[in-house]
Homo-oligomer: A and B are copies of this chain.
Amino acid sequence: MTLTSLPRHHGGADGLARLLGQALLAGRWRPGETFPRERDLCQHFEVSRNQVRNALATLVALGLIERTAGRGSVVCNIGEWHLLDPLVSAWMADIETPDAQLLREIFAFRYSAEPAVARLAARAAEAEDLERLEAAFLGMQRTAGMPEASARHAEYDVAFHDAIYRTSHNLVWRQMGHLLRPSIIALIQRSQAHLQPLDAGLDDSLARHGRLLEAIRSRDADAAEAAAVDVLRRTAVDLGIVADAQAESVQAPSAESIIHAKERSP
């Protein structure tokens, strides 16, 4: 791909890294392809070589590109991207069309991990944690059914799930909360693109979140695990990972069909 399709202006200093990083995450260069040279980037964006080099250094640190003297910069394989880095997650969250495979991978991860996290949360929850969870849930309720507030609703949704990860009281799990934003933001973008408001299923989704909150509040690990699975099944439908019909007719779609959805709809 050429540079010409990228906007020439960008915000502050690391705005350039963000711009280039998002272009990479959106798949505008394929793995193995060569990335533009420093000199071209300087000219196109009208910035000093220093800024370009700083931005590129950031991309290297995130495993997005690899640079070698004399050869240039090449785009790394998706498998080497540091998906778990907060920067990458944040960038991915506000891309208009994130890579579909990537979103499926993230959701498959959530589907296999969040039940266990909910289990931990139910055991470790303290007053402060419950407050966070409750505040997020109330926010979701308040913004439900308001099409113009769907962005805020998604934020509360992110906050709710992030609160669960935090409630696990484990440093590692807590950092994975960063992955939630891209996963959940993609949900509202999809609903807006399809002009198919989630109102119908939103009450249902809200109810499932409520049961999860209640299970954690009462320290019932088994119930929390089951409720988390329930929430994620609903989300899988809204994300279009499993067909609506399947989820509505069948009470419990097998984990197999969600985790390995990629293999049958590439």
- Of B78, B84, B106, B173, the contact of A109 (CB 8 Å cutoff): B173
Which residues of chain B have C-beta atoms less than 8 A from A108's C-beta?
A: 170, 172
Known interface pairs A170-B105, A170-B108; A83-B116 also in contact (CB < 8 Å): no
Known: A109-B170, A170-B105. A175 touches B120 (CB 8 A): no
Question: Could you jot down 7 A-B contacts, CB within 8 Å?
Answer: A61-B87, A84-B175, A105-B172, A109-B171, A112-B117, A123-B256, A124-B260
Task: Decide if B105 touches A112 in the complex (CB within 8 Å).
Answer: no
CB atoms of A105 and B171 under 8 A apart:
yes
- How many positions in chain A have a CB within 8 Å of any CB in the partner chain? 41
The complex places the Cα of A259 from the Cα of B122 at a distance, in Å, of 13
Contact, CB under 8 Å: A79 / B112 = no
Q: Chain B residue with minimal CB distance to A117?
A: B112
> Considering only CB atoms, which chain B residue lies closest to A124 in the complex?
B260
When distances are taken between beta carbons in the complex, the residues of chain B under 8 Å from A172 are 83-84, 105-106, 108-109, 179
* Chain A interface, DSSP helix/strand/loop, else mixed: helix
Contacts of A170 in B (CB 8 A): 105, 108-109, 112, 259
Given contacts A259-B120, A260-B124, contact A82 B171 (CB under 8 A): no
Q: Which of B78, B102, B116, B175 contacts A112 (CB 8 A)?
A: B116
Instruction: Name the distance in Å between A180's Cβ and chain B's nearest Cβ.
Output: 12
Taken together as a complex, chains A and B put the C-alpha atoms of A197 and B190 apart, in Å, by 56
Given contacts A61-B61, A85-B85, A105-B171, 14 further A-B contacts (CB under 8 A): A54-B57, A61-B87, A63-B86, A82-B86, A83-B172, A84-B85, A102-B171, A105-B170, A109-B170, A109-B173, A112-B120, A115-B116, A123-B256, A124-B259
Residue of B nearest to A172 (CB): B109
Q: How far is the CB of A78 from chain B (nearest CB, A)?
A: 7
Contact of A171 among B78, B124, B169 (CB under 8 A): B78
B116 in contact with A79 (CB, 8 Å): no
